[in-house]
Amino acid sequence: MKTYQTGQIKSIALLGNSGSGKTTFAEAMLLNGGVIERRGTVEGKNTVSDYRPIEQENENSLYSTVMYTEFRDNKINILDTPGLDDFAGGIISSLYAADTALMFINVQNGVEVGTEIQFRHADSFHKPVVLVVNGLDHEKTNFDKSIEMLRERFGSNVTLVQFPVNEGIEFDSVIDVIKMKMLQYPKDGGTAKEVDIPAEYADRASELQTELIEKAAENDESLMEIFFENDTLTEDEMRRGIRLGLIQRGIFPLFCSSARKNIGVDRIMEFLVNVAPVASEMPAWVTESGKEVKCDVNGPASIFVFKSSVEEHIGEINYFRVISGKVTENIDVTNNSNDTKERLSQLYICAGKNRTKVSELQAGDIGAAVKLKNTKTNHTLNSAGLDGKYPKMNFPEPKFRAAIRPLSESDDEKLGEALNRMHQEDPTIIIEYSKELKQIIIHGQGEYHLNILKWHLDKIFKIETEFIAPKIPYRETITRAAQADYRHKKQSGGAGQFGEVHMIIEPFEDGTDPKTMMKINGKDMKLSVRDKEQIKLQWGGVLEFVNCIVGGSIDARFLPAILKGLMEKMEEGPLTGSYARDIRVYVYDGKMHPVDSNEISFKLAGRNAFSTAFKTAGPKILEPVYDVEIMVPSDRMGDVISDLQGRRGMVLGMSSEKGFEVVKAKVPLAEMNKYSTSLSSLSGGRAMFSMRFSEYVQVPGDVQDAVIKAYEAEQDEE
């Protein structure tokens, strides 16, 4: 395959709601470019994009797929993305690597949930967007209604380049207002024949062309002057204005198509080649240190890995974007993300699972490499002469969590390896091995997302597993001071065990010093503070250990053992087995035995004294509370707020943003189980939310009682 120059390369991400026709459109692009000889279909399970068994079984794109086609001496890199928000990772990574987004609208349904969500993603990346109203050959099309919805949701920058002549099952022609021609397609689609616009469509075409020219002229002062002088623009001037408008997101040109019939695809490809910006026209990539790296083939080689996957018989494949310079076979590079050396011994361009070996890729291109030792998604690889790394892709916070366990204990290690591999392929799957909860917690974007993961475990990795309700990482603390003492005494022939510890515990507050006088059970107690040790706990909070021993009642060598016993109970709180936090412990007295006292005796004495004191110190359970932000259509906001209140949520505020109501609230994690599924049901799938840990707060009394009872019942079962 020839080596394409930067100015000949266009990289396009295909976006749109599930069922909008992205995969079918990509198939037509590959056919028109000669990359494939025959088009596959989603129903036939033989498309280039959806080649994975799970995608064929579900008839849905669940992963992003890297492809390419060639058209009029240009290379178009195609990144087909999933249409479901559960698989947003593939959308984010594709937008990171692409220069332009091709947004598909199913003409039967207009602007759907996925359309809105993905448009927001494109907006957050400030990517140019070309709109494609697809499926115009369907009997239930409504083009004008779709345009009305698009302008209502995305604003006045939605600008028609085409409109259909005969939408419906006979659809075969569109009016193009850049060319000012009617494009007629043969029965099997493919290449259009250009003919004059019929008289009955001339006025509408002229009106739309004027709108397009005005929109194109707005993006450049020199074009505006030409427009004022001539009252029009030439086709080349229009293209220049549209390209500038695309880069500035001042125009969203709209095209018509039937991907299924390969109608309109060639014209959109022509537009991409002629008008869509190339990498060198887009804003330069910037390293974490703030250095701009220009898309210059003469610069040092620099690539960013935006996707990793594991393919059968090949192993791990890393897909990358060439940011600068050119990458050749056997080039030595430094992985600046982990300071290791790599050699790109073989380079490929990909069309789904099919790979074509190439010798060189230039700035702006997309390729793949295999058998890299230490390179993963989000890594930066540079040749000599370029330091720094690019910012990592920020994926959405998890919205759904579940605990997983293998049905056979012998599969524990195998499950761990499989889950780590799944995370490598999809970074939005977060694996947490919780020592605290004694569970493997899987975090994902939704219930369907985790069900697909389980399918892989069942069918690909052959590991039988089950999802169970995840436990909540509660914290335990106290609200007042309490005293306890405990004597550990054991005699069983030979040397025995003896240790006695007297202690006081109280809540720890930052900025306070240990007390020298305390009232316990109505009696004043004087404490002689000898020294203190403050331990920052891994799970948050503090344990402060205060030595108040006088007169040698406990030898100093046994104090570390007492502290060890305390830490054991801090790691397994007396109420629910959760981590304890924010406690100050005064050890002020005790007893030793000259022969039988040892470290284990004082560890057990300290542990049990602490547990006894804890239960009389006004113990409280703290629960994790999350900041939740929900974007919901205004007609569903009442239902959503009512549901939040039923989840013990506290609504903090509401605002409007781009046609949506934004609700901000604090909600306990215990109440967020399967919330993504519930919210989808409440809003007809049109709402979306994000959640992020905020703080630990005290649970209400009735909730605390229920949590303790549930824990005790669980302990009885065990």
**Exposed/middle/buried for residue 329 (C-beta within 10 Å: 0-12, 13-18, 19+):** middle
Residue 560: predicted pLDDT: 96
Residue 462: predicted pLDDT: 95
The pLDDT confidence band at residue 523, using thresholds 50, 70 and 90, is: confident
Span 490-518, average pLDDT: 89
Q: How far apart are CA 75 and CA 3, in angstroms?
A: 9
* Amino acid at position 131, single letter: L
Residue 296: predicted pLDDT: 94
The answer, yes or no, to whether residue 427 has pLDDT greater than 70, is yes
Identify which of 91, 87, 69, 70 has the alpha carbon closest to the alpha carbon of residue 78.
Answer: 69
Q: Do domains 400-471 and 621-704 have the same CATH topology?
A: yes
Instruction: Give the chain's largest Cα–Cα span.
Output: 112
674-684 pLDDT per residue, tens: 898 899 889 88
Residue 578: both structure tokens together: 């959760």
Span 636-642, average pLDDT: 93
Identify which of 475, 459, 551 has the alpha carbon closest to the alpha carbon of residue 704.
Answer: 475
Instruction: List the Cα angle 201/204/207 in 5-degree steps.
Output: 145
Q: Put residue 684 in one of left, alpha, beta given phi > 0 → left and psi -120 to 50 → alpha.
A: left
Q: Does domain 621-704 have CATH number 3.40.140.10?
A: no
Residue 657: predicted pLDDT: 75
User: So what CATH class is 476-618?
Assistant: alpha beta
541-571 pLDDT per residue, tens: 999 999 999 888 999 999 999 999 999 999 9
The pLDDT confidence band at residue 496, using thresholds 50, 70 and 90, is: confident
User: Cα 635 to the chain's mean position, in Å?
Assistant: 28
The helix/strand/coil state of 209 is: helix
- The whole-model pTM stands at 0.86
The answer, yes or no, to whether residue 253 has pLDDT greater than 90, is yes
Identify which of 630, 623, 680, 624 has the alpha carbon closest to the alpha carbon of residue 651.
Answer: 630
Fold exhibited by the domain 6-197+251-281: Rossmann fold (3.40.50)
Residue 1: predicted pLDDT: 75
Question: Between β-strands 302-311 and 315-324, what pairing exists: parallel, antiparallel or unpaired?
Answer: antiparallel
Rounded to a whole number of angstroms, the distance between the first and last alpha carbons of the chain is 65
* Phi, psi for residue 555 in degrees, rounded to 5: -65, 140
Q: Would you list the DSSP string of 287-301?
A: -TTS-EE---TTS--
Q: How far apart are CA 470 and CA 645, in angstroms?
A: 22
The answer, yes or no, to whether residue 275 has pLDDT greater than 90, is yes
**Exposed/middle/buried for residue 431 (C-beta within 10 Å: 0-12, 13-18, 19+):** middle
H/E element holding 168?
none
The pLDDT confidence band at residue 417, using thresholds 50, 70 and 90, is: very high
- Quote the DSSP letter at residue 433: E
Residue 463: both structure tokens together: 């590991």
Q: To the nearest 10°, the Cα dihedral for 528, 533, 538, 543?
A: 0
The residues, ordered by sequence, that sit 6+ positions from 642 with a Cβ below 8 Å of its Cβ are none
* Amino acid at position 684, single letter: G
The answer, yes or no, to whether residue 718 has pLDDT greater than 70, is no
The answer, yes or no, to whether residue 658 has pLDDT greater than 70, is no
Q: CA dist 375 to 95, 152, 314, 320, Å?
A: 21, 44, 16, 11
Kindly list the domain boundaries of the chain, sorted by start residue.
6-197+251-281, 289-382, 400-471, 476-618, 621-704
Residue 312: predicted pLDDT: 74
The answer, yes or no, to whether residue 442 has pLDDT greater than 90, is yes
Q: How far apart are CA 271 and CA 265, in angstroms?
A: 10
Estimate the share of the chain in helix, then strand, then coil, as percent rounded to the nearest 5: 30, 35, 35
Q: How far apart are CA 357 and CA 349, in angstroms?
A: 7
285, 392 Cβ separation under 8 angstroms:
no
Q: How far apart are CA 320 and CA 304, in angstroms?
A: 5
Residue 380: predicted pLDDT: 96
Q: How far apart are CA 339 and CA 382, in angstroms?
A: 11
The helix/strand/coil state of 477 is: strand
Span 448-459, average pLDDT: 94
Identify which of 661, 102, 12, 718 has the alpha carbon closest to the alpha carbon of residue 365.
Answer: 12
The answer, yes or no, to whether residue 109 has pLDDT greater than 90, is no
Residue 100: predicted pLDDT: 97
User: So what CATH class is 400-471?
Assistant: alpha beta
Which residues in 599-631 are b (16+ Cβ under 10 Å) and which e? eebbbbbbbbbbbbbbeebebbbbbbbbbbebb
Q: Mean pLDDT of all residues in the chain?
A: 93
CB-CB neighbours of 494 under 10 Å: 6
* Amino acid at position 221, single letter: E
The pLDDT confidence band at residue 221, using thresholds 50, 70 and 90, is: confident
* Amino acid at position 450, single letter: L
User: Cα 713 to the chain's mean position, in Å?
Assistant: 37
Residue 711: predicted pLDDT: 87
122-181 pLDDT per residue, tens: 999 999 999 999 999 998 899 999 999 999 889 999 999 999 999 999 999 999 999 999
Residue 493: predicted pLDDT: 66
Residue 684: predicted pLDDT: 82
Classify domain 289-382 by CATH architecture.
Beta Barrel (2.40)
The answer, yes or no, to whether residue 716 has pLDDT greater than 80, is no
572-584 pLDDT per residue, tens: 988 898 999 999 9
Residue 235: predicted pLDDT: 86
